[in-house]
Each structure stands twice: as structure tokens, then as C-alpha cells.
């Protein structure tokens, strides 16, 4: 799989395990995934971003035309996970955590929108998805764990 060059030049991530395989157990099934990079989230916990995760993100976002532009912001994943404005846990899937931060769109629009990164906390933490929040609010089925004072407007 060819990974975009900008994903291979990020700051504050670890590329020392690039192309190594890790086993992820999801829904009782073991899946091997290929590491692109690893990093530390807000809590200092290690997470992995994998080629298979990237492929899933690309496929799922391209099927939703209003989410296609999110692929231009994959380089924001480490920033959002390290310094989120808001973070919550899914009440439906207790292994899914949502980290969010307001991100400026590239010109010509220059407006800010809430970009959410889903981190699955399984046997290892792995980036599962990234998407634009509807109406700049954290999803209804998310129990907020913390938020910055300035992020109150992101709550429903």
C-alpha cells in the first residue's frame, strides 16, 4: 500500500516500527495490521495508525461525498489525539473513544469545523476512523470524559 508522503513526515510520532505487523483483537477476531506510525494520546497511552486503518478510512470517507475532504486532514490525527478540545467514550461501544478539535479548513473557506478521531482501545490502541462532526457537535451517543472550557459549544 502506498502511504501519502505527508503521513510519513509528521512531528511527534514514532516511525521506528514502520511496516511491522501487530495483532489487533476486535470482536473476538485477531487481525494483523501493518504499522504506519505510533504516538501517544492525551493520556500518554500509546496508539497505532495502520495501513489497514488508513484503507478503511479512505474507503468509508470516499463513499460519503460530504466527508471526502477529511482525507486532506489525516495529518491532524496526532495533534487531535495529543491535544483534543473534547474527548468522549461511546455509550454503544465502550472500546471506542472520540477525540475532537476545531480545525480550520484550507483556503478559500477558512472556516473551522470539529474534526473527530475515533480511537479503539482494544488489546492495543488503534486509530479506527476520522470524520467531520455533524453541526460541530460531539455525537449523541458519546459520554463526554472531558472538554476544555472553550469547547462547551461542542456539546449537545
pTM beyond cutoff 0.85 = yes
One digit per residue, the tens of pLDDT, for the chain of length 156 reads 667 777 888 888 999 999 999 999 988 899 999 999 999 999 999 999 999 999 988 887 776 665 666 778 889 999 999 999 999 999 999 999 999 999 887 666 678 889 999 999 999 999 999 998 888 888 889 999 988 877 766 665
- In DSSP terms, 40 is beta-bridged to 46
Q: What is the pLDDT of residue 155?
A: 64
**Helix boundaries (H) for the chain:** 51-62, 77-82
- In DSSP terms, 101 is beta-bridged to 115
The residue extents of the domains of the chain are 5-154
Q: What is the pLDDT of residue 67?
A: 64
Q: What is the pLDDT of residue 19?
A: 94
- Burial per residue of 11-24, b for 16 or more beta-carbon CB atoms within 10 angstroms, e otherwise: eebeeeeeeeebeb
Q: Where are the beta strands (DSSP E) in the chain?
A: 21-26, 29-40, 46-50, 86-90, 96-104, 112-121, 125-132, 142-147
Instruction: Give the Cα separation of 99 and 83 in Å (integer).
Output: 9
Q: What is the pLDDT of residue 152?
A: 67
Amino acid at each position: 500500500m502506498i502511504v501519502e508522503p505527508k503521513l510519513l513526515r509528521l512531528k511527534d510520532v514514532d516511525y521506528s516500527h514502520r511496516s511491522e505487523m501487530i495483532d489487533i483483537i476486535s470482536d473476538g477476531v485477531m487481525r494483523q495490521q501493518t504499522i504506519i506510525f505510533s504516538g501517544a494520546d492525551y493520556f500518554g497511552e500509546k496508539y497505532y495508525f495502520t495501513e489497514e486503518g488508513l484503507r478503511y478510512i479512505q474507503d468509508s470517507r470516499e463513499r460519503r461525498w460530504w466527508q471526502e475532504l477529511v482525507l486532506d486532514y489525516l495529518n491532524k490525527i496526532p495533534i487531535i489525539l495529543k491535544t483534543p478540545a473534547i474527548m468522549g467514550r461511546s455509550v454503544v461501544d465502550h472500546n471506542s473513544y472520540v477525540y475532537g478539535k476545531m480545525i480550520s479548513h484550507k483556503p478559500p473557506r477558512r472556516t473551522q469545523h470539529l474534526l473527530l478521531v475515533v480511537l479503539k482501545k482494544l488489546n492495543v490502541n488503534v486509530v479506527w476512523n476520522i470524520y467531520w462532526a455533524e453541526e460541530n457537535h460531539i455525537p449523541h451517543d458519546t459520554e463526554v470524559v472531558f472538554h476544555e472550557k472553550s469547547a462547551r459549544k461542542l456539546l449537545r
